[in-house]
Chain A
């Protein structure tokens, strides 16, 4: 596995309002009828963005002022619900590199980390301030600095946090754990041998 450290990400952001945005909303189930993740970008937030006839609902993602955004600013408990990795895959494949919010559902968080897409957390009120700022100043370039534990925008600085393990995995570029897991073959077999049901 190639090592790709993720330390600092810079880009414009788009705010997605609302608490408890579940993975069914991020990628409706009908888009899961696929055997690869390749075409998932088109389904991202589909029912929030488009009417039945395909016309736009003018969701912030489709607002020209947020075009090219690579960071997403979200509400609490983002990504709750189903374990479908299709959700973070669709976000990543739509060009987003990181998510800034206040809390995440755990499976979504882990799936995103594994893809090298950090989900960082900050105080809910501060996240809201950031979201309002972006709405008013959509051209602002944000810098998400994982090492320093902050997001810098305009004159402002937002303190962010992330649990140590996943943060370390991203900073060291070892977020895809497969090689490290494979390296432990002997220990895996030893553990298996000690478990009578295996």
Chain B
């Protein structure tokens, strides 16, 4: 029996077996940001421990950064205290910091790949659940808590239990208007928000083979919304082409050695999986959420569910709670839902290809009257590229606010928030109650293309009909 990439990388990074039976796993790259690291540095100070491998930790600032102006000091004194704390911690410990004035700042899950820190066959952690994003490169990448951030800083290792591996095959041809975001929303809808607990997801099949690195990142990013702590795609030429020449990628003769090593980590053809599921690409439509959990999804042509038709009492309760919060009657057609806000950005869909695709659709249209539409590149590098390619201007001309890099309206830690019970068409990853900053705010997750279509029409819209 062959091995999966997960198994091979796990074995290569195993340091020891701990008394309680867990594995002590070596962590190759550690990413930190301002929200979950300050307490960890505090714990280190209390224990009087140094950072063991400072050159394997990389920092940036994202969650609290205001996107209208990155000028410091920030207006919010709490946010300002957090960025200052991060700065003093990285300075005191000699940690590479992609700060606001480097031109390289951005959402932590964009910075790692952009800099070439995210590489195949490595282990990557960050005190942030969307670390799963980095699995797109064939890495074991997962979110951790702050006490674990302390453990990594102090020892570059973690006490972990090995996960099972589920291979998710998506084969066939995606319809026009169906994007990576729709693929992952479709998978989560069918496997459930807790379907992935205990598993790493391996995404395989010709649909993922054909995807760009940015699309693979969109998919892996939302593994966590499906309950899987990490998700990955086996590395291939697409991966290597993306990495070549990036700041932290191997150079010269090291490149060829790295390539051979990366190839060796790919899952074997006869690898042993704990589970295998299949999806047909043809069955995937543009997909949107209608409720308060990422698995509350429907195809754009379907009505939102009727609690009376639920299969289990648990499902019925979940639908009733969601419909009540969303203030939507059962059976509503998604395309009848009017929106107040359109948000394009986040670590799921804040990359150059997302803005390119969205700009293509948006060109020649205007944001509907009364809709607040904001476009927020995920990193300063992406922001710069969008300016250079004229993408930013397309958004501005259409009536979008074009912002600076950060997490923005994905979560409520900076000034970008919903108010009251506003409905937001959002390219982010979470539609939880209150997620976008108002305790009664409502989120509808969708692809970037669908976000701009919604912005133009003022309601949830099948992007395939916009220019038809």
Contact = CB atoms under 8 A, between A and B. Distances in A.
Interface of A: 18-20, 22, 24-25, 28-30, 32-37, 47, 52, 76-77, 80-86, 88, 103-107, 110-111, 114-115, 124, 163-166, 168-169, 172, 174, 176-178, 180-182, 184-185, 187-188, 191-192, 194-198
Given A85-B146, A166-B22, 18 more contacts: A30-B413, A35-B42, A52-B439, A76-B314, A81-B129, A83-B127, A83-B131, A88-B145, A107-B129, A107-B142, A124-B314, A165-B21, A181-B155, A182-B49, A184-B157, A195-B26, A196-B257, A197-B258
Contact of B12 (A80, A114, A181, A195): A195
Given A33-B78, A33-B413, A192-B156, A83 B143 contact: yes
Nearest to A50: B439
B305 to A, nearest CB: 15
A19 B291 CA distance: 13
A18 B321 contact: yes
Contacts of B147: 85, 111, 114-115, 176
Contacts of A106: 197-198, 227, 229
B13 to A, nearest CB: 7
Contacts of A80: 193-194, 227
Given A22-B432, A83-B127, A169-B22, A178 B47 contact: yes
Contact of B26 (A107, A169, A180, A191): A191
Given A47-B439, A177-B18, A163 B161 contact: yes
B14 interface: yes
B345 to A, nearest CB: 16
B125 to A, nearest CB: 10
A197 B261 CA distance: 10
A33 B81 CA distance: 9
Q: Which of A104, A188, A196 has the most CB of B within 10 A?
A: A188
A144 B13 CA distance: 36
B314 A188 contact: no
Contact of A19 (B18, B143, B318, B437): B318
A98 B15 CA distance: 31
Interface of B: 12-16, 18-22, 24, 26, 28, 35-36, 38-39, 42, 47, 49, 52-53, 56, 63-64, 76, 78-79, 81-82, 85, 119, 122, 127-129, 131, 142-148, 150-151, 154-161, 193-194, 197-198, 224, 227, 229, 250, 254, 257-258, 261, 293, 314, 317-318, 321, 411-413, 430, 432-435, 437, 439
B157 A197 contact: no
B20 A195 contact: no
22 contacts: A24-B434, A33-B78, A35-B38, A36-B39, A77-B194, A80-B193, A82-B143, A82-B411, A83-B127, A83-B129, A85-B127, A86-B146, A107-B229, A164-B21, A174-B19, A180-B159, A181-B24, A187-B15, A188-B24, A188-B155, A196-B261, A198-B56
Given A77-B197, A177-B151, A191-B26, A84 B413 contact: no
Contacts of B197: 77, 103-106
A107 B433 contact: no
A114 B150 CA distance: 12
Contacts of A82: 128-129, 143, 411
Q: Which of A29, A111, A114, A180 has the most CB of B within 10 A?
A: A29
B13 A191 contact: yes
Nearest to A34: B78
Contacts of B160: 110
B194 A33 contact: no
A47 B15 CA distance: 43
A162 to B, nearest CB: 11
Contacts of B63: 32
8 closest residue pairs by CB, A with B: A111-B145, A83-B143, A85-B145, A168-B20, A77-B194, A35-B38, A33-B78, A177-B159
B129 A33 contact: no
Given A83-B145, A195-B28, A197-B258, A32 B19 contact: no
Contacts of A163: 161
Contact of B53 (A36, A184, A192): A192
A28 B22 contact: no
Contact of A198 (B53, B128, B261, B435): B53
B387 to A, nearest CB: 29
Contacts of B151: 177-178, 181
Nearest to B322: A20
A83 B159 contact: no
A81 B24 contact: no
A52 B419 CA distance: 12
A22 B129 CA distance: 12
Nearest to B77: A33
A83 B143 CA distance: 6
Nearest to A168: B20
A124 B157 CA distance: 35
B40 to A, nearest CB: 9
Given A81-B129, A196-B261, A182 B432 contact: no
Contacts of A187: 15-16, 24
Contacts of B161: 163, 165-166
A170 B317 CA distance: 34
Contact of A33 (B12, B79, B193): B79
Contact of B20 (A30, A124, A172, A184): A172
B21 A168 contact: yes
